[in-house]
Amino acid sequence: MGTYTFIVEFKGGTFISQHRAPDLIAAFNMWADYFSKGPYVSRMQSKQLLEDVKIEDFFPSEISEVKNVWCWSSVLWGKLIYLNIVKTAE
């Protein structure tokens, strides 16, 4: 199990959360569920977020020369979302 820190830039704000999971993909799914329930998106958008961010569409880019750091970006509802992921603990 690791602790993954998610640093999200979206709609002019920065949102940070941590999720404990066995691997990156499980942590990402936990983050997507958490983010979709927060004040950042409407109820209708939260359903779309969970549908849009499917496991097969999630290909985080590992940051070269840095261990346990990934990034991902997309466009959600016409807004850029930029996500940095850092595995911060075992």
Residue 74 structural domain? 2-89
* pLDDT score recorded for residue 69: 95
* pLDDT score recorded for residue 81: 83
Average pLDDT per 10 consecutive residues for the chain, totaling 90 residues: 92 90 88 75 61 61 90 80 86
Helix (H) or strand (E) run with residue 65 in it = none
The domain total for the chain is 1
- And the tokens for 16? 């940070």
pTM recorded for the entire structure:
0.79
Strand runs labelled E in 1-90: 2-10, 13-21, 61-62, 69-76, 79-89
Q: In what order do the strands lie in the sheet with 2-10?
A: 13-21, 2-10, 79-89, 69-76, 61-62
